[in-house]
Structure 1
Amino acid sequence: MALALKYFVVFLLLSMVSQGLCRCSYKNLQIGTVRTGREIAGQPEWTVSVINTCNCLQKHVTLTCAGFAPVKLVEPWLLLSHGLTCLLIKGEALPAGASAQFSYAGEPYIFRPVGSAVDPSCKDSL
């Protein structure tokens, strides 16, 4: 019984410690795309929103970009291509609950988050 109690206490302490650490990652980024109704060079224009649903600041957000070939390029300070991935807002911080938007014209593209750096000083209350 005493051994089981010790294991329970150790488990409880480890759980509390891990809960205190920020559990956020790039998986806490939601991406939505809507058609604006405009056309540029015969292609539809799209607005993409990247929302940080984490309680922590995230920076160096990278998205999939393989095969992304818009006819209206995105401003490089908003979305900078690095081969198969793109860097959002020059790697700057995306605060908790904040969003970043950019527009492009071309074939619809499904962006997916593939990386970010979570503020190490953040204590997530999830």
Structure 2
Amino acid sequence: MTFALKYFVVFLLLLSVFNQGMCRCTFGEIQIGTVRTGREIGGQPEWKVAVINTCTCLQKHVTLSCRGFSPVKPVEPWLLLPQGNTCLLIKGGALPAGATAHFTYAGQPYIFRPVGSTVDPSCNQ
């Protein structure tokens, strides 16, 4: 009986560790893809950017690198708000698990990278 109980407790501990690992998110689970739309604005190509939360948790206050980002056609500030060398996505609002935020800009190609986010605290418990 104690033999089975030991293995059951070990199994529960391993399952708990595995589940915690699955729920812990960072801004590293934010994926970004950029494609050309085929349009030109002011002689510059237009780009469509998709920011995807691949984590199983809601993330908010998602910030992207934007140092030197200077588009000919700026992004709506409620979608991408410049704040020094970073930009705040959707006014810091929630990007649910599996959700995608899109925005377009015209100008030179720019490689956005996630640099920060806040994960829903209830998800990391």
TM category, shorter: 0.7 to 0.9
Is residue 25–residue 124 contact of structure 2 (8 Å, CA) maintained in 1? no
Aligned mates of 1:113, 1:63 — CA distance in 2 = 4
Alignment of 1:42-121 (within 5 A): 42-121=43-122
**What is the number of residues matched between the two proteins?**
115
- Higher mean alpha-carbon deviation, 77-86 vs 115-124, is at 115-124
Match of 2:33 in 1: 32
Give secondary structure in 1 for the equivalent of 2:91: helix
Residue identity in the other structure for 2:28: K
Aligned mates of 2:64, 2:97 — CA distance in 1 = 18
Deviation at 1:90, TM superposition (A): 0.2
Match of 1:16 in 2: 16
Residue identity in the other structure for 2:106: A
**What are the superposed Cα offsets for residues 3-46 of structure 1, whole Å, 9 maximum, x if unpaired?**
xxxxxx89x84883574263111000110000000000000000
Aligned mates of 2:54, 2:124 — CA distance in 1 = 14
Aligned mates of 2:85, 2:124 — CA distance in 1 = 32
Structure 1 or 2: more helix by fraction: 2
Displaced runs of 4+ in structure 1, greater than 2 A?
12-22
Which consecutive residues of structure 1, in runs of 5 or more, have no partner in the other structure? 1-8
TM superposition score normalised by structure 2? 0.84
Q: Percent identity?
A: 74
**What are the superposed Cα offsets for residues 64-123 of structure 1, whole Å, 9 maximum, x if unpaired?**
000000000000000000000000000000000000000000000000000000001115
Aligned mates of 1:18, 1:77 — CA distance in 2 = 37
TM superposition score normalised by structure 1? 0.83
